[in-house]
């Protein structure tokens, strides 16, 4: 019951885009979607299916959890890519600065030529 209350609280905090746009586009044809809706509206006969049917209201909740999990993974990958890019830039900067310091040292020593 507390999960449903939490889901309702989250629903109130959704942005307009989240309320209007679906999380996932269905790949079913119109006729297949109608058939699926009809099946979902009929109470199931098997005990396990009945338990799942009782929790059908949590479907949107689990969609949100899955969406957040996917977004988290994407952000972790982006962060790692940025770290790699930062390391590469730091190495190039060190090489550049080492090259500058070597060029400044050369004129300070008289050329034997």
pLDDT score of 25 more than 90: no
> Mean of the per-residue pLDDT values for the chain?
78
Nearest to 49 by CA among 38, 40, 60, 59: 40
pLDDT confidence tier of residue 95, bands split at 50, 70 and 90: very high
Which pLDDT band, with edges at 50, 70 and 90, does 83 fall under? very high
Q: For residue 58, is pLDDT > 60?
A: yes
CA dihedral 62, 65, 66, 72 (to 10 degrees): 180
Query: Which string of b and e fits 71-109 if b means at least 16 CB within 10 Å?
Result: eeeeeeeeeeeeeeeeeeeeeeeeeeeeeeeeeeeeeee
Three-class SS state of 108 = helix
* Sequence ranges of the domains in the chain: 1-102
Q: Is the pLDDT of residue 86 over 60?
A: yes
pTM: 0.49
At 31-57, the pLDDT tens digits run: 877 877 777 777 777 787 777 767 767
Rounded CA-CA distance 37/27 in Å is 14
């Amino acid at each position: 019951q507390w999960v449903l209350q939490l889901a309702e609280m989250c629903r109130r905090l959704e942005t307009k885009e989240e309320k209007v746009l679906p999380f996932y586009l269905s790949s079913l044809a119109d006729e297949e979607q109608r058939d699926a809706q009809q099946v979902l509206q009929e109470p199931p006969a098997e005990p396990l299916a009945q338990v799942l049917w009782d929790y059908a209201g949590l479907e949107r909740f689990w969609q949100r959890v899955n969406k957040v999990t996917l977004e988290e993974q994407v952000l972790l990958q982006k962060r790692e890519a940025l770290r790699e890019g930062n390391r590469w830039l730091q190495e190039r900067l060190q090489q550049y600065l080492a090259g500058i310091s070597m060029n400044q040292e050369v004129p300070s020593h008289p050329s034997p030529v």
